[in-house]
Chains A and B, each alone.
Chain A
Amino acid sequence: MGERAMSRRGFLRLASILATVGYTAQETGRLADAFASEVQHPNDSSTPPPADQSYLPILRVPSVTRNGAHVPIVAEIRHPMEPDHYIKSLQILNESDPIPSKGIFYLSPANGHAYLSVQARIHSGTSAVRVIAECTRHGRWTTSQSITIPEGGGGCATAAEGGDDALHDDTIHPPVIRIPELVERGKIRRGEIIQVQIKLKHPSRTGLVFQGEKFLQTAEPFYVKEMKVFYGDDPVSRYEMTPAISDNPFITFKLRAMKESTIRIIVTNSRGQQFQASQEIIFS
């Protein structure tokens, strides 16, 4: 049983490399960059110094879930977000998946809090989800969580149009920005860190099929590739996604409400289609 699992893991690793190369050289480069750099683990005896305990990323994923096509992932780090010292990116990975990267979220001090909530495709079996947080001063910090998904839990094999759930259709609904604070109390205070949620109906297809213990690329991936966030005229965040993002990604990040202005997002999919949404920020 264990031998079989090892063999399968080997296949997955190989498929992972091939699939990644097959998608985009850009993605491969980014991953290579992510793994080649010095990454500091929370359990390293040398790091972090006690004063820097706040640099440990926090990762929330379910330890067990039946639905590999929609795994909720929350990554955050309690860390200063000052102009000269902030978290500039959060990357979510699962190295044993055919598409290891679930995307990189680039932040700026305007975010106020390094936080990302998103859903991703993860292949069945037991594996580790990892987050890498990069600080402008102190490099990369990482932590991981184990996840188990039973066989048949969906995940990365989504070649056919129509997706993994016959109830869902492939229509696209342009994004809408939801601010939970506005729903709950109808107002925003100057200086508070608000949640910004992006609701978007968009399919996500890896184009992979799982046959004979390996993944085959049988169709072109179709997914939400990028999300740019502007606050007024200033670019504040950018999220580069991969085909491993879930259908209808419900993305949450944080933003410090410093001025009365418009939050605007531009979403681009892998076919180059662009969609926009905006939300006025007015203080009470």
Chain B
Amino acid sequence: MKRPRKMKTILGASLCLLLVVTSGPNPAFAHKAKHTPEQLKAFEQVFMEQVKVGDLLFHGDEATQKRLGVTLSNTGMACAMCHPFASDTHPYTFPKFQEQVNKFAPLRDMINWCIEKAAEGEKIETDSDAMKALETYIYWSTRGSKLDPGRH
């Protein structure tokens, strides 16, 4: 007689928990709602603003570097001088073991390697606005490519 009561208690508690999890407002499920055209437009604007900032940084714009407090080169080099159209950046092959940095690395580590070694600049915080913008521009430039992480 004792055991069924315990089972009932556990079952009841589980149901309550499930109810709490599924009934309350939870941002984790917000994306399941279909986006309105207005929302999609706003998201696109946010994305393209990042692409624009990344484009300016990638092509060596000094005002944008100053505004974001970064020095991507001390020699006058810009990313685009080696990577026109973001070519040879291969963002879709990351993360992977990257020989230059001798570790398993996401794209951000490779961007910093280029800044320090090729452009002779000062590496930037991996979660900085400048890094997000550079990464966004590189991904946007190679959009449509097939993901192939780990490839060399």
Which of A's residues lie within 8 Å of B, judged by CB?
60-62, 65-67, 70-72, 74, 119, 165, 167-169, 173, 176, 178, 180, 183-184, 197, 199-201, 246-248, 250
Is there a chain A Cβ closer than 8 Å to B26's Cβ? no
Query: Which of B4-12, B30-38, B51-59, B143-151 forms part of the interface with chain A?
Result: B51-59
Shortest distance from the beta carbon of B96 to any chain A beta carbon, whole Å: 13
Told that A72-B78, A183-B52, A201-B87 touch, could you supply 11 new A-B pairs with CB distance under 8 A?
Answer: A61-B76, A66-B117, A71-B75, A72-B75, A72-B77, A167-B88, A168-B82, A173-B84, A173-B87, A246-B81, A248-B82
Shortest distance from the beta carbon of A279 to any chain B beta carbon, whole Å: 15
Inter-subunit contact A72/B55 (CB<8 Å)? no
**Interface residue total, chain B, C-beta cutoff 8 A:** 21
Binary CB contact string for chain B from 89 to 119 against chain A (1 if under 8 A, 0 otherwise): 0000000000000000000000000000110
Task: Pick the residue among B56, B61, B74, B84 that contacts A199 (CB under 8 A).
Answer: B84
Shortest distance from the beta carbon of B90 to any chain A beta carbon, whole Å: 9
List, sorted by A's number, 22 A–B pairs whose CB atoms are closer than 8 Å.
A60-B76, A62-B75, A65-B75, A65-B120, A66-B117, A67-B75, A67-B118, A70-B118, A72-B75, A72-B81, A119-B77, A119-B81, A167-B88, A173-B87, A178-B59, A180-B56, A180-B59, A183-B55, A183-B59, A246-B81, A250-B78, A250-B81
Task: Pick the residue among B56, B85, B88 that contacts A176 (CB under 8 A).
Answer: B85
Shortest distance from the beta carbon of B1 to any chain A beta carbon, whole Å: 74
Shortest distance from the beta carbon of B111 to any chain A beta carbon, whole Å: 14
Is there a chain A Cβ closer than 8 Å to B17's Cβ? no
Q: CA separation between A84 and B9, bound complex, in Å?
A: 97
Inter-subunit contact A66/B81 (CB<8 Å)? no
Given contacts A62-B74, A72-B81, contact A180 B61 (CB under 8 A): yes
User: Across the interface, which residues of B come within 8 angstroms of A67, CB to CB?
Assistant: 75, 77, 118, 120
Is there a chain A Cβ closer than 8 Å to B15's Cβ? no
Q: How many A-B residue pairs have CB under 8 A?
A: 68
Inter-subunit contact B76/A197 (CB<8 Å)? no
Q: CA separation between A76 and B33, bound complex, in Å?
A: 56
Q: CA separation between A136 and B74, bound complex, in Å?
A: 35
User: Across the interface, which residues of B come within 8 angstroms of A246, CB to CB?
Assistant: 81
Most chain A beta-carbon contacts within 10 A, residue among B78, B81, B118: B81
User: Across the interface, which residues of B come within 8 angstroms of A168, CB to CB?
Assistant: 82, 88
User: Across the interface, which residues of A come within 8 angstroms of B75, CB to CB?
Assistant: 62, 65, 67, 71-72
Given contacts A67-B118, A183-B55, contact A250 B76 (CB under 8 A): no
Shortest distance from the beta carbon of A131 to any chain B beta carbon, whole Å: 14
Q: CA separation between A60 and B76, bound complex, in Å?
A: 8
Binary CB contact string for chain B from 106 to 143 against chain A (1 if under 8 A, 0 otherwise): 00000000000110100000000000000000000000
Given contacts A62-B76, A248-B82, A250-B78, contact A184 B87 (CB under 8 A): no
User: Across the interface, which residues of A come within 8 angstroms of B42, CB to CB?
Assistant: none
Q: CA separation between A178 and B78, bound complex, in Å?
A: 14
Most chain A beta-carbon contacts within 10 A, residue among B52, B75, B85: B75
Shortest distance from the beta carbon of A179 to any chain B beta carbon, whole Å: 11
